[in-house]
Amino acid sequence: MIRPLSTLKVGEKGKIVKLIGGLGMVKRLSDLGFVPEQEVEVVRSAPRGPIAIRVKGTVYALSRGVADKIYVDDI
């Protein structure tokens, strides 16, 4: 099921399907490794505030607004 990255719970993994946003944001996320077919895992999440995501062994903190624009498919 394809859904926003922000909806995954801690410990859940997904495979990136697409990024939605402006050219600058998409390029920045791509440079960090957030590219289609890449596996990601939610490391930390709270009801409010940033969400910590592991990509290629590195953990990044993303705002919920940015995480809402990254669509993943269940693994």
Could you state, in order of their start, the residue ranges of all structural domains in the chain? Answer: 2-74
CB 64 within 8 A of CB 50: yes
Residues 49-67 have pLDDT tens digits of 899 999 999 999 999 999 9
Q: Name 31's Cβ contacts closer than 8 Å, sequence gap at least 6.
A: none
Q: What is the pLDDT of residues 3-37, one digit of tens each?
A: 999 999 999 999 999 999 999 999 999 999 999 99
Instruction: Look up residue 4 and give its two tokens.
Output: 């926003």
pTM: 0.91
Tell the CATH superfamily of the 2-74 domain.
Answer: Ferrous iron transport protein A (FeoA) (2.30.30.90)
